[in-house]
């Protein structure tokens, strides 16, 4: 007779094998999942930007290139599937082949975990402009906080590219088809953006606790944290919840420079415009944390160095935008948590006028009662001797974005409230 653990292992393998025979419920992201229970374990917010600083592959795309990208999931499951996006493309995204594996560090992968990715059971496929596609289920059990490597080979150039910049993660590129390269030696080009990746879902036989979406700007995205260490505040929150015995997926929907009320070709669609696709269309979530508005205030006079025009936004307009987001979340049955705006003294955003706007918005968030719960990030990271400024230990150096320690303090403040 087989030992009981081996029986369980074989049973799980058989269940996952059955998953592979089940049709995916839809070919577009956000559709109802098939059984067993599929839920999002990692996401990012995608957009097109035409103003990037440093190495990037945005406009030209990829031609005879292999792209390897690493993400860390905050929930485990018995199988996985990948969602790829060409939402902002103007021509079909042609993928010649792809695979999924556990990361071996940097551009390396763990060889025995490499699994081919297929879409509609095809290894080569197109993603039409403006759409997303869901892969077939992959037999690769994953645990919470596993780092996964997604490798895409693109034979033909397309552009512009649907991407997420300021990822605080290194992406790798090699010339030629290097899907089989497990060492990562061929991947000599790097950048810090994600390309085409929209989300990773995992399957479980029994539904787990509903996830949380952290919705915001560069502070949610993790700018100022150490690259490749997953020290953004949503990552830290997921780790803290797991350590406390209440594990939940925490999904990052932050975009650097994003604003509540203003659309931008540089900084993405406004929070009001993107809230549905980045929050309401995510599967298996029940709570959203909203940390948005510092860029509406700070960029009211524009950013001439990158051609961003002035769009004045006062506290009343910003509060009205928050009310709109609250209404959207409540209509979808989500618990909606408001977070106060962090200190910014010493940054280019700061002036007496902008500080007055930040203070007014924070007062409303704290006292209006319109959010279900409030997380006081402002209080958590402010310098007690000068509350308009980030505490030195929590300042990444630009007086706007937290350091790793600052993001840890934010996660502690978030874990201390009722997340629903």
Q: What is the pLDDT of residues 225-284, one digit of tens each?
A: 999 999 999 999 999 999 999 999 999 999 999 999 999 877 889 999 999 999 999 989
Q: Which residues contact 119 (CB under 8 A, 6 or more apart)?
A: 27, 84, 95, 125, 133, 134, 135, 136
H runs (alpha helix) in 152-203: none
Task: Evaluate if pTM is beyond 0.75.
Answer: yes
Residue 6 confidence (pLDDT) above 80: no
Higher pLDDT, 16 or 114: 114
CA distances from 284 to 15, 189, 359 (A): 21, 36, 34
pLDDT bracket for residue 418 (50, 70, 90): very high
Q: What is the pLDDT of residue 305?
A: 65
Q: What is the pLDDT of residue 202?
A: 97
Q: What is the pLDDT of residue 303?
A: 75
Find out whether 54 and 191 touch, Cβ atoms under 8 Å. yes
pLDDT bracket for residue 27 (50, 70, 90): very low
Q: Calculate the average pLDDT of the chain.
A: 90
Domain ranges within the chain, ordered by starting residue: 24-199, 209-415
Q: What is the pLDDT of residues 305-315, one digit of tens each?
A: 666 788 899 99
CA distances from 181 to 98, 155, 292 (A): 12, 17, 41
State the CB neighbour count (10 A cutoff) for residue 181.
18
Strand ranges in 238-279 using DSSP code E only, listed in sequence order: 250-254
Question: 227, 6, 8, 23: which is closest to 135 by C-alpha?
Answer: 23
pLDDT bracket for residue 5 (50, 70, 90): very low
267 token code pair: 């900084």
Q: What is the pLDDT of residues 317-359, one digit of tens each?
A: 999 999 999 999 999 999 999 999 999 999 999 999 999 999 9
pLDDT bracket for residue 32 (50, 70, 90): very low
Range in 33-42, 340-349, 364-373 the model is least confident about: 33-42
State the CB neighbour count (10 A cutoff) for residue 14.
10
Q: What is the pLDDT of residue 53?
A: 52
Question: What integer is the mean pLDDT of 373-398?
Answer: 98
- The domain covering 209-415 belongs, at the CATH homologous superfamily level, to SGNH hydrolase (3.40.50.1110)
Q: What is the pLDDT of residue 49?
A: 72
Q: What is the pLDDT of residue 48?
A: 80
Question: What integer is the mean pLDDT of 115-126?
Answer: 96
Higher pLDDT, 323 or 158: 323
């Amino acid at each position: 007779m087989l030992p009981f653990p081996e029986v369980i292992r074989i049973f799980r393998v058989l269940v996952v094998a059955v998953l592979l025979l089940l049709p995916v419920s839809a070919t577009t992201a956000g559709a109802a999942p098939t059984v067993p229970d599929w839920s999002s374990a990692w996401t990012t917010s995608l957009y097109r930007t035409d103003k990037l600083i440093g190495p990037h592959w945005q406009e030209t795309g990829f031609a005879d290139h292999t792209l390897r990208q690493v993400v860390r999931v905050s929930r485990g499951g018995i199988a996985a599937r990948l969602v790829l996006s060409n939402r902002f493309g103007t021509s079909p995204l042609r993928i010649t082949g792809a695979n999924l594996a556990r990361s071996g560090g940097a551009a390396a992968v763990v060889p025995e975990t490499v699994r081919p990715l297929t879409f509609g059971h095809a290894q080569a496929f197109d993603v039409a402009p403006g759409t997303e596609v869901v892969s077939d289920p992959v037999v690769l059990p994953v645990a919470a906080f596993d780092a996964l490597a997604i490798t895409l080979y693109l034979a033909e150039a397309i552009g512009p590219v649907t991407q997420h910049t300021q990822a605080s993660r290194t992406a790798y590129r090699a010339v030629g088809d290097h899907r089989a390269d497990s060492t990562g030696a061929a991947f000599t080009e790097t950048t810090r953006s994600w390309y085409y990746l929209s989300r990773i879902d995992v399957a479980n036989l029994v539904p787990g606790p509903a996830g949380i979406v952290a919705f915001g700007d560069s502070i949610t995205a993790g700018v100022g944290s150490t690259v490749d260490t997953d020290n953004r505040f949503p990552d830290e929150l997921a780790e803290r919840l797991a350590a406390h015995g209440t594990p939940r997926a925490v999904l990052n929907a932050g975009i650097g420079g994003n604003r509540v009320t203003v659309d931008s070709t540089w900084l993405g669609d406004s929070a009001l415009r993107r809230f549905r696709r980045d929050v309401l269309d995510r599967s298996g979530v029940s709570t959203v944390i909203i940390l948005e508005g510092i860029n509406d205030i700070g960029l009211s006079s524009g950013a001439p160095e990158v051609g961003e025009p002035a769009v004045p936004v006062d506290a009343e307009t910003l509060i009205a935008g928050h009310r709109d987001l609250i209404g959207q979340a409540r209509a979808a049955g989500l618990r909606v948590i408001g977070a106060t705006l962090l200190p910014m003294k010493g940054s280019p955003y700061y002036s007496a006028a902008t500080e007055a706007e930040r203070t007014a918005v924070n007062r409303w968030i704290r006292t209006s009662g319109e959010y279900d719960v409030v997380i006081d990030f402002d209080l958590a990271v402010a310098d007690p001797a000068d509350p308009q400024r980030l505490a030195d230990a929590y300042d990444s150096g630009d007086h706007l974005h937290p350091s790793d320690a600052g993001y840890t303090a934010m996660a502690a403040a978030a874990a201390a409230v009722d997340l629903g």
